[in-house]
Structure 1
Amino acid sequence: MLLIDCPWCGPRSEHEFRCGGESHIARPGPPENVADGEWADYLFYRTNPKGEHLERWLHRFGCGRWFNIARNTVDHRITAIYGMTDPKPEPRA
């Protein structure tokens, strides 16, 4: 079980949260200039790294707010928690 430190509510069990997938994905646009292949890439393809991954999380059974987490996909260690509009943290080796 993960213990996630919500920036607003403090440490809580992972059962209170919902992972919203990869973070920092830029929507292509304007829509009339986006090719079908580029739109498909945006909608369906995500990275699946072995190591650090930047994810969006929702504290759905708490404050209801979104935030970002840098999590290692090998050992599930959380290395950073930061706001939705904050810059990406520096990658850790």
Structure 2
Amino acid sequence: MLLIACPWCGEREELEFHYGGQAHVAHPADPEQLSDGEWGEYLFVRDNPKGPFAERWSHAAGCRRWFNVVRHTVTHQILAVYPAGEPKPVIP
């Protein structure tokens, strides 16, 4: 069982959380000017690294807040947890 440390509620089991995809994906500045291909890329194309990856999570069964987690995609080790809106921490 993966344990995730909510920034507000502390460490809880993964079952209390909802995965929200890749973190730090910027919304297009002028969405009306995007082509269908550009919209498709914005909506569906995400990074898929082997290693540290910034993800969005929601504490669905707790405080219901969104936050970011840097998780190693091979080992599932959580390297950092930080509130949404803050910059991604530097991971050595």
TM range, normalised to the smaller chain? Answer: over 0.9
Residue 41 of structure 1 aligns to a residue whose secondary structure is helix
Unaligned runs of 5+ in 1: none
Unaligned runs of 5+ in 2: none
Provide the rounded CA distance (Å) in 1 between the counterparts of 2:57 and 2:11: 14
Give the fraction of aligned pairs with identical amino acids, expressed as a percent: 57
TM-score by length of 1: 0.94
Query: What is residue 17 of structure 1 aligned with on the other side?
Result: 17
Instruction: Confirm or deny that 1:48 pairs with 2:37.
Output: no
Query: What is residue 30 of structure 2 aligned with on the other side?
Result: 30
- Runs of 4 or more off by more than 4 Å in structure 1? none
How many residues in Structure 1 have an aligned counterpart in Structure 2?
A: 92
Provide the rounded CA distance (Å) in 1 between the counterparts of 2:35 and 2:64: 35
Whichever residue aligns with residue 35 of structure 1, its letter is S
Residue 54 of structure 1 aligns to a residue whose secondary structure is strand
Instruction: Confirm or deny that 1:76 pairs with 2:76.
Output: yes
Is the alpha carbon distance of 1:91 and 1:38 closer, same or farther for their aligned partners in structure 2, counting shifts above 3 Å? Answer: farther
TM-score by length of 2: 0.95
Provide the rounded CA distance (Å) in 2 between the counterparts of 1:61 and 1:7: 14
